Amino acid sequence: MRIGELATKAGVSVRALRYYEEQGLLAAGRSGSGQRHYADPAVDRVQLIQHLYAAGLASRTIAELLPCVDAQVSTPESRAKLSAERDRIDRQITDLIQTRDRLDAIIELTEDPARSGCSIADYAT
């Protein structure tokens, strides 16, 4: 499939696909006229890359891990890197849950008309 079709199927921009290729995260074949062509599994690859980016992994880290994904084999180093990233994400989740809980408390307390006039700072601790 051509780059525009892959972008549509994967839900990303053509610019993102070009960036992924520049970073060595995605490979494209070329036609005689130089147009990029991708195999069907490229959709899944792009979605994986998107998920890894959304989880906060850097392109360098993703590039180091994708060969293990492709080979379906990991090394002690890649497992350690994956574990470290998982631990970082777990910490982010914990922080986000705490922030959500604070927001819930603020919402609940500020719904009470008798408490109007209080500042949000009163509830943020």
Query: Could you write out the DSSP letters of every residue in 71-87?
Result: HT---HHHHHHHHHHHH
Cα distance between residue 52 and residue 125, in whole Å: 33
Q: What is the pTM of this model?
A: 0.72
Q: For residue range 9-50, what is the model confidence (pLDDT) as tens digits?
A: 999 999 999 999 999 999 999 988 988 999 999 999 999 999
Q: For residue range 49-106, what is the model confidence (pLDDT) as tens digits?
A: 999 999 889 999 899 888 888 888 888 988 898 899 899 999 999 999 999 999 999 9
